[in-house]
C-alpha cells in the first residue's frame, strides 16, 4: 500500500546487481519483494487506464468540445481510482495477508525470469553469515544501536593454584560463549556467527568478492571464520550474535560480541541493538475490517473524488515508468561498472535494511521496551559468567576481571577500569564501586 517503499525495495535491493543484502530478522525478503512487484504491477494497470482516460478527456474537452462526454470520462476515471482503492484495502489479495491467513509459499510469481533469478540471489543472503555494510555502522538491518561496552584483562596471569595458564584460543572462547548463551530460556533465541565486511574494501579480495561486477558473497566457511577470529582485519570482523525475537516477530533484541587476543590481554566488545515493531502504516491490514464499514465507504469516496484529477495528471509518466520497474537502473549500473573497472573503487555495502526501513523508531508498548531490556540483561550476565568460567578452567587469574565488574554506573552498564562505555547517559566516578556481594542483584543494563 506504500508506493514509495515498494519502489525503494525494488531499486535498492532487487535491481542492484552489485550490493550486498542486509539481514532482515523475522522477515522473508524475497516474499516482501514478490508483493512489491505485484503492487507495482497493479498500479501500472491503473495508471495505464488513467492515462488513456486523460487523453480522452483532453480530446473531448479541447478537441471535440463535448462537455457531456468529458464529464463521463472523468466519472470513469474516478470510478477507476475508487475501484483501485477498495481492491487495495479490501480485495482478496490483501485479505490473504492477514496474520491468520498469510502463507509465504503463496506469494505471487515474479513478473519475468530475470526478476525471478534476482530474487533467488537475494534469497540466498537469508541463509548466509556475511553482512557487507556501507557507512559507519556495520549492524545494518538490526535496528537501533543502544549501549556498548568493552573490557580487557590479562590472560597470562596465573590463578590461585599457580602454574602456567593455558593459552587462550579465541575460537574456543566463541564456542564456549555460544554454548552457554544457547541454554538461555529467552523467546525466539538464535545464536549465530556473522562476519561484517566493509563494502569499500572488497575489490581485489576474491574471498568476499569473486566477481567485481557481481554481488559480494553471502557465506564463508567455518575455516575462514575461525581464521578471522584469530586475526581480525580492519575491513572484516567476526562477531558472535545472540538474537531474541518476541511479540510475534515484532521485536528483535540483539547482542553482538567480539573477542580479540592482543599480546597478553583478551579484549571483549559488546554492542546492543533493538529492532522495534513495524510502523503503523505497514500494519494497516491488522486494523481493517473484512468488509468496509459505511463510514469508511464515504471517506474513500470523498478522498478519491479529490485525488482523482492529480492521479490522472501523473498517470502518463507513471505508466511509462511502469513498463520497467527498474527504470533508470541500467544507466546507474553502467556508471557503477565504469567506476569498478576504471577506478577500481566501489562501495558494495547494503544501503537498506528491508525490515529495518519499515520499523518504528520506538516501541509500541512499555512492556516491549521492558522485555528487550530484560533480554539484554540476561544475555550479558550469561556472557560475563561464561567468560569467568572459561578463564578459571584454563588457570587464568580472574580477580582482575571480577574487579573490573565491580564498577557499576548509574544506568547499569558494566564499566571497567581500562574499558569504554558508549551511552546516552553515563555517570561514573571513584565512588561508584560496589561490593561483589551484591553484583548479582544489580542489573547489567537498564533500558528504562
Q: Based on the fold, state whether residues 376 and 352 are members of the same structural domain.
A: no
Burial pattern 187-208, b for ≥16 Cβ within 10 A else e, equals ebbeeebbbbbbbbbbbeeeeb
Quote the pLDDT of residue 322: 79
Q: Based on the fold, state whether residues 240 and 209 are members of the same structural domain.
A: yes
- 310 in a domain, yes or no? yes
- 29 in a domain, yes or no? yes
- 332, 357, 382: which is the final residue of a domain? 357
- 133 in a domain, yes or no? no
- 396 in a domain, yes or no? yes
Contact 253, 376 (CB under 8 A): yes
Q: Based on the fold, state whether residues 157 and 268 are members of the same structural domain.
A: yes
Q: Based on the fold, state whether residues 236 and 262 are members of the same structural domain.
A: yes
Q: Based on the fold, state whether residues 12 and 36 are members of the same structural domain.
A: yes
How crowded is the C-beta side of 360, counted as CA atoms within 13 Å? 16
- 126 in a domain, yes or no? no
Q: Based on the fold, state whether residues 297 and 383 are members of the same structural domain.
A: no
- 129 in a domain, yes or no? no
What pTM did the predictor assign? 0.82
CA pair distance 129, 175, nearest whole angstrom? 16
Closest CA to 181 of 86, 266, 92, 254: 254
Quote the pLDDT of residue 68: 87
- 338, 357, 376: which is the final residue of a domain? 357
Q: Which neighbouring-strand residues pair with 408? A: 414
Q: Which domain holds residue 53?
A: 3-121+283-357
Q: CA angle, corner 25, sides to 374 and 170, nearest 5?
A: 70
Quote the pLDDT of residue 348: 95
- 428 in a domain, yes or no? yes
Q: How many domains does the chain have?
A: 2
- 357, 387, 410: which is the final residue of a domain? 357
Q: Based on the fold, state whether residues 12 and 102 are members of the same structural domain.
A: yes
**Mean pLDDT of successive 10-residue stretches along the chain, which has 448 residues:** 81 89 89 88 91 91 80 92 85 71 75 86 92 94 90 85 83 96 93 96 94 95 95 94 91 95 89 89 72 84 92 90 72 88 92 90 85 90 90 87 55 45 40 34 35
Q: Based on the fold, state whether residues 350 and 395 are members of the same structural domain.
A: no
Q: Based on the fold, state whether residues 379 and 340 are members of the same structural domain.
A: no
DSSP 201: G
Q: Based on the fold, state whether residues 343 and 376 are members of the same structural domain.
A: no
- 77 in a domain, yes or no? yes
Quote the pLDDT of residue 429: 38
Q: CA angle, corner 429, sides to 423 and 432, nearest 5?
A: 95
Quote the pLDDT of residue 1: 60
H or E, element range at 192 = strand 189-198
Q: Based on the fold, state whether residues 268 and 395 are members of the same structural domain.
A: yes
Contact 40, 322 (CB under 8 A): yes
Q: Based on the fold, state whether residues 399 and 266 are members of the same structural domain.
A: yes
Amino acid at each position: 500500500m506504500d508506493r514509495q517503499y515498494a519502489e525503494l525495495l525494488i531499486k535498492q535491493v532487487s535491481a542492484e546487481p552489485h550490493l550486498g543484502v542486509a539481514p532482515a530478522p523475522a522477515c522473508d525478503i524475497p516474499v516482501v519483494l514478490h508483493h512489491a512487484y505485484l503492487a507495482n504491477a497493479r498500479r501500472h494497470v491503473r495508471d495505464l487506464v488513467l492515462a488513456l482516460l486523460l487523453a480522452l478527456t483532453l480530446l473531448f474537452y479541447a478537441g471535440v468540445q463535448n462537455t457531456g462526454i468529458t464529464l463521463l470520462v472523468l466519472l470513469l476515471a474516478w470510478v477507476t481510482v475508487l475501484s483501485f482503492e477498495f481492491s487495495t484495502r479490501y480485495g482478496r489479495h490483501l485479505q490473504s495477508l492477514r496474520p491468520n491467513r498469510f502463507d509465504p509459499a503463496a506469494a505471487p510469481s515474479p513478473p519475468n525470469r530475470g526478476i525471478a533469478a534476482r530474487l533467488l540471489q537475494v534469497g540466498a543472503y537469508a541463509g548466509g553469515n556475511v553482512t557487507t555494510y556501507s557507512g559507519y555502522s556495520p549492524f545494518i538491518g538490526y535496528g537501533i544501536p543502544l549501549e556498548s561496552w568493552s573490557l580487557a584483562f590479562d590472560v597470562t596471569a596465573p590463578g590461585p593454584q599457580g602454574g602456567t595458564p593455558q593459552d587462550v584460543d579465541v575460537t574456543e572462547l566463541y564456542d564456549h560463549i555460544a554454548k552457554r548463551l544457547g541454554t538461555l530460556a529467552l523467546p525466539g533465541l538464535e545464536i549465530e556467527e556473522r562476519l561484517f565486511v566493509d563494502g569499500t574494501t572488497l575489490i581485489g579480495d576474491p574471498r568476499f568478492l569473486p566477481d567485481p561486477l557481481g554481488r559480494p558473497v553471502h557465506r564463508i566457511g567455518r575455516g575462514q571464520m575461525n581464521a578471522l577470529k584469530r586475526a581480525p582485519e580492519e575491513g572484516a570482523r567476526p562477531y558472535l550474535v545472540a538474537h531474541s525475537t518476541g511479540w510475534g516477530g515484532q521485536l528483535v533484541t540483539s547482542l553482538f560480541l567480539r573477542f580479540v587476543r592482543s599480546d597478553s590481554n583478551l579484549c571483549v566488545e559488546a554492542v546492543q541493538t533493538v529492532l522495534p515493531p513495524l510502523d503503523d502504516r505497514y500494519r494497516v491490514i491488522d486494523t481493517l475490517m473484512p468488509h468496509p464499514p459505511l463510514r469508511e465507504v464515504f471517506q474513500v469516496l470523498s478522498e478519491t473524488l479529490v485525488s482523482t484529477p492529480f492521479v490522472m495528471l501523473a498517470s502518463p509518466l507513471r505508466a511509462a515508468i511502469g513498463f520497467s520497474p527498474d527504470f533508470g537502473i541500467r544507466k546507474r549500473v553502467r556508471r557503477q561498472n565504469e567506476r569498478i573497472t576504471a577506478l577500481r573503487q566501489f562501495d558494495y555495502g547494503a544501503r537498506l535494511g528491508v525490515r529495518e526501513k519499515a520499523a518504528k523508531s520506538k516501541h509500541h508498548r512499555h512492556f516491549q521496551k521492558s522485555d528487550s531490556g530484560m533480554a539484554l540483561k540476561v544475555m550479558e550476565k550469561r556472557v560475563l559468567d561464561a567468560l569467568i568460567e572459561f578463564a578459571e578452567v584454563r588457570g587464568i587469574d580472574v580477580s582482575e576481571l571480577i574487579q573490573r565488574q565491580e564498577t557499576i554506573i548509574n544506568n547499569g552498564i558494566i564499566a571497567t577500569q581500562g574499558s569504554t562505555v558508549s551511552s546516552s547517559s553515563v555517570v561514573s566516578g571513584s565512588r561508584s564501586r560496589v561490593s561483589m556481594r551484591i553484583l548479582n542483584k544489580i542489573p547489567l543494563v537498564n533500558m528504562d
